[in-house]
Structure 1
Amino acid sequence: MRITLALLLAVATCDGRSPSAPSPEPAAATPAKGDAPAPIAIEASPAPPAAPAAAAAPAATPAALPVAPDGTAMLPCPAGSPDDMACIPGGPFIRGADDGPENARPAATVWAQTFFMDRHEVTYAQYNACMKEKGCPKARPRYTDYDHPNMPMTGVSWFDAVEYCRIMGKHLPSEAQWEKAARGPDGARYPWGNDPVTCERAIYRDASGRGCGLKKQFSKPETGRPWDVGSRPAGVYDLFDMVGNSWEWVADWNSKSWASCGADCEGLDPKGPCADQPTCATTRNKIVRGGSWYWEDEKATGIYRRAHVPSNDPFHHFGFRCAASLDEAAALDAAK
């Protein structure tokens, strides 16, 4: 044992190294004063994508204009309009009535192109001014107290009415135009709908046999008289007195019924038998529409048709209003 220990000591001496204790673990590096650790960069979370901008609402698409069976497109009402005229939109409407007078049967769908209609019946003052200033035919009512300035001009012939409208840059409405303007597109019996006629709605002879507004002490209550135009509320298309107050001439020659008229009274803008011819082999009468202050309720409708000679002989207190095509209306509007 002693020999072994001696040998180990000898070996260590010869190697020049002495045995030593194990080295301790190095201490963790301490940063120098002022040498702070660099901040750790933190990557920001990406922002959520922006919501897409709300798409602008598409412009309202105007309703498609009707197209007549023959392919003719109805034209829109223009922005401007002649004085005291209303635009009647083109399209189909119901003309006639199956339960109406025989000459107003049957009900049928016909078409009218867009046009304008006078909002009021032509007044005495307007016609009188045309006689003095523009050469309108001479005419006047034959009864006293029928010549107030704003009363409808009554006592004119069909020829007088046609000439007045021509001079004013318009035309006498066709029967189809008149009925469309009086009843609207859905075949109402009156300008205000289907409620019965009353003295609050139109000037006519009421159920008592008395003209609207006539005082009871009058010995002949059936006579009455017309009122100033526009005395009752406007009806469809903002037109006044389309029934009652004064009968109104229209352009067409008379037909015994819509059925007997056939193709001449069908389709787009029908003009009745013989159209615009100066004479007609099938009739000598023109037509007045709408009833008047003198006649009972069955005539104060949008369907009743009355035939009379265009010369107005025998004399009756008929009146009228004018219509205008879109071209006529544009010329009138430009001249304002």
Structure 2
Amino acid sequence: MALLALLMVAPARAATGWHGETLPSGLSKHAERGVYIHHADDARMVYVTAGVFLRGTPALRMQALQAQYGDYFSGESPQQSISLSAYYIDQFEVTNRQYAQFLRAVDTHRHRDCHADEPPHKSHLPTYWRDPRLNGPAYPVTGVDWYDAVAYCRWAGKQLPTEAQWEKAARGPDGRAYPWGNTWVATYSRNVESTLGRPIHGEQLWLRVLGRLNLDALTQMTQPVGSFPLGVSPYGAHDMGGNLWEWCRDSYRQGYDPGAPVHDPMGPPPSPYKVLRGGAWSSHRGKIRAAYRNYDLLTDRHLEIGFRCVKSIK
């Protein structure tokens, strides 16, 4: 009888993840090994182990990239070893189906999950929500600004990734050029070459091609999430090269501050310009690289920008 009483009051054992870690609340193991399900938005997530990775690009490589593509590539230095705590990241970009759940919640609970600096009376309805080329349920949501992305992540009990978290999840600990490795393969992601079916090696050709591009004539831009399984990152995240640019938590500054923290860096002080990573369906191979850094005004909404979320272990 005493033993039964002890069993009845014994605390429940915490659930353990695929890597032996204690699972945070709201997350459970999926039947597929290495994959987790986040309950609030039904997102599949993957685990990024704690440790060091190589952020940025060496100086000589930077010079070669600048010669090929222009000064856009001067912001990737200096290359530095960065240490991150473990975290989970969405396996796919947030989809229209998932974002629709968030919109229903906004209608019900108003804007309780929004950033404090969000403009008053802001609508979270994406710009291209009704464009049939972009609004399929399994397609990544696009036409969202940084405030939209922050609000969604908070509603789901997650956060936008820091720039460092995004880059580690994309390239792994070995500093590879693309999520899949160091060799460019156009068919491993949704990029301007796979969109248009022709190789584009440099910035000038890319600019000429885009200058002639009639967006209204394009029948398809993005692809459903997970359409390029050969382009998966070392941690199991999909579409981290191409499909859509992805918002990060950090504000943007030109180049990395060599004096900034090297453990769990949070980026520079807040500014109106936020980091974008990963390239899009219209990006050339240089911008699909995992180290490439882009940025935009946090209130801008384009048909090339989406996002994914992270969940901290802490």
TM-score by length of 2: 0.69
Say if 1:141 and 1:147, in contact at 8 Å, map to a contact too.
no
Structure 2 counterpart of 1:116, one-letter code: Y
Query: How far did residue 133 of structure 1 move?
Result: 3.0
Provide the rounded CA distance (Å) in 1 between the counterparts of 2:21 and 2:177: 25
- Structure 2's unaligned 5+ residue stretches are 1-18, 30-35, 38-43, 63-72, 112-122, 200-211
Shift of 1:207: 8.2
Q: What is the one-letter code of the residue matched to 1:325?
A: S
1:308, CA displacement in angstroms? 0.5
d(CA) in 2 for partners of 1:127, 1:207: 26
Cα separation, partners in 2 of 1:76 and 1:311, compared to 1, 3 Å: farther
Q: CA deviation at 1:192?
A: 1.0
Per residue, is there more strand in 1 or in 2? Answer: 2
* 1:257/1:160 CA distance change after superposition, 3 Å: same
Counterpart AA for 1:91 = G
Matched, 1:251 2:249: yes
Corresponding position of 1:202 = 189
* 1:173 is aligned to 2:145: no
Residues 208 and 253 of structure 1: CA distance in aligned 2, closer, same or farther (over 3 Å) = closer
Aligned length: 235
In the alignment, the residues of structure 2 paired with residue 91 and residue 273 of structure 1 have an alpha-carbon distance, to the nearest angstrom, of 22
Q: Report the residue type matching 2:125 in the other structure.
A: A
Q: Measure how far apart 1:140 and its partner are.
A: 2.1
1:102 corresponding residue in structure 2: 74
- 2:245 maps to a residue whose letter is W
1:91 paired with 2:63, answer: no
* 2-structure distance, mates of 1:160, 1:93: 29
1:308 pairs, out of 296, 300, 310, with 296
Q: Which amino acid in 1 is paired with 2:96? A: Y
The reply to whether residue 326 of structure 1 matches residue 300 of structure 2 is no
**1:268 aligns to what?**
263
In the aligned structure 2, how far is the partner of 1:204 from the partner of 1:246?
9
Deviations 1:74-125 (A, max 9, x none): x974465541111100100000012242100121101110000000000011
Distance 2:195 2:86 in 1: 40
Q: Indicate if the aligned counterparts of 1:197 and 1:300 stay in contact, CA closer than 8 A.
A: no
Distance of aligned partners of 1:112 and 1:88 in 2 relative to their CA distance in 1, 3 Å threshold: same
Aligned to 1:147: 135
Letter of the structure 2 residue corresponding to residue 202 of structure 1: S
Instruction: Name the structure 2 match of 1:112.
Output: 84
- Secondary structure of the structure 1 residue equivalent to 2:306: coil
* 1:95–1:87 CA distance, 2 compared to 1 (3 A): same
Output aligned runs, 1:127-166, within 5 Å. 127-135=99-107, 138-142=124-128, 143-166=131-154
In structure 1, C-alpha distance between the alignment counterparts of 2:156 and 2:291, rounded to whole Å:
28
Q: Is the Cα contact below 8 Å between 1:211 and 1:293 reproduced in 2?
A: no
Contact 1:125 1:149 in 2 (8 A): yes
CA RMSD of aligned residues (A): 2.4
Give the direction of change, closer, same or farther, for the CA distance of 1:298–1:194 in structure 2 (3 Å limit): same
AA in 2 matched with 1:188? R
Tell me if the contact between 2:160 and 2:249 (Cα under 8 Å) persists in the aligned partners. Answer: yes
Cα–Cα, structure 1 residues 232 and 155, in superposed 2: closer, same or farther, change >3 Å?
Answer: same
Rounded to whole Å, the distance in 2 between the matches of 1:246 and 1:120 is 11
Higher helix share: 2
Deviation string 1:33-57 (CA, Å, 9 cap, x unpaired) is xxxxxxxxxxxxxxxxxxxxxxxxx
1:208 CA displacement: 9.2
Q: Is the 8 A contact 1:183 1:236 kept in 2?
A: yes
Gaps of 5+ in 1: 1-74, 213-218, 328-336
- What's the secondary structure of 2:82's corresponding residue? strand
Structure 1 residue 134: deviation in Å?
4.5
Report the TM-score when normalising by structure 1: 0.65
Higher RCO (CA 8 Å, separation ≥ 6 residues):
2
The Cα shift of 1:268 comes to 0.6
Distance in 2 between residues matched to 1:308 and 1:134, nearest whole Å = 25
